[in-house]
């Protein structure tokens, strides 16, 4: 008698686990994150900022318990506003100097206690790696 194969159930289980997407919890974002890598994966050829430039400009993104977000580049506030999360997305409502708002998303690729990797979702996207 032929033994049943466990290969198919194992493959199905593996595919199910891989298809599950993490959900970003706002509490997991709270704090200041220092950029360590800025990439442009869709550029032709793909490129990234040099470490020396990132060290000099000292870019950060900070999320607070009041659901606010502040992005700093070169010691100046580049953008600020509020944020919410939706699945793997961080939804930003940017407050502009003229009082208007602009909405955009970051797609989170990786998030743990020490590191976040996210991408902008606009044409010419950037992929950011940052640490707490």
pLDDT of residue 14: 44
For residues 103 and 94, is the Cβ–Cβ distance under 8 A? yes
The structural domain count of the chain equals 1
For residue 16, tell me if it sits in a domain.
no
For residue 73, tell me if it sits in a domain.
yes
pLDDT, tens digit, for every residue of 42-62?
A: 888 888 999 999 999 999 999
pLDDT, tens digit, for every residue of 50-98?
A: 999 999 999 999 999 999 999 999 999 999 999 999 999 999 999 999 9
For residue 39, tell me if it sits in a domain.
yes
- How far apart CA 110 and CA 67 sit, in angstroms, is 20
For residue 9, tell me if it sits in a domain.
no
For residue 14, tell me if it sits in a domain.
no
Structural domain for 98, as ranges: 23-131
According to the per-residue pLDDT averaged within each range, which of 3-7, 19-23, 101-105 is highest? 101-105
- How far apart CA 105 and CA 32 sit, in angstroms, is 18
- How far apart CA 86 and CA 63 sit, in angstroms, is 15
For residue 17, tell me if it sits in a domain.
no
For residue 31, tell me if it sits in a domain.
yes
Q: What is the dihedral of CA 27, 116, 58, 38, to 10 degrees?
A: -150
This prediction has a pTM of 0.81
Domain of 116: which CATH number? 2.40.128.280
């Amino acid at each position: 008698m032929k033994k049943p194969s466990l290969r198919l159930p194992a493959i199905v289980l593996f595919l199910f686990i891989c298809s599950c997407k993490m959900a970003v919890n706002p509490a997991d974002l709270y704090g200041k994150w220092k950029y360590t890598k800025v990439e442009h994966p869709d550029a032709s050829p793909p490129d990234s900022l040099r470490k020396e430039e990132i060290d000099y400009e000292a870019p950060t993104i900070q999320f607070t318990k009041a659901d606010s977000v502040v992005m700093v580049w070169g010691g100046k506030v580049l953008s600020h506003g509020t944020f919410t999360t939706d699945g793997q997305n961080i939804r930003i409502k940017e407050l502009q100097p003229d009082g208007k708002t602009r909405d955009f998303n970051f797609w989170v690729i990786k998030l743990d206690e020490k590191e976040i990797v996210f991408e902008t979702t606009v044409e010419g996207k950037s992929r950011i790696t940052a640490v707490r």
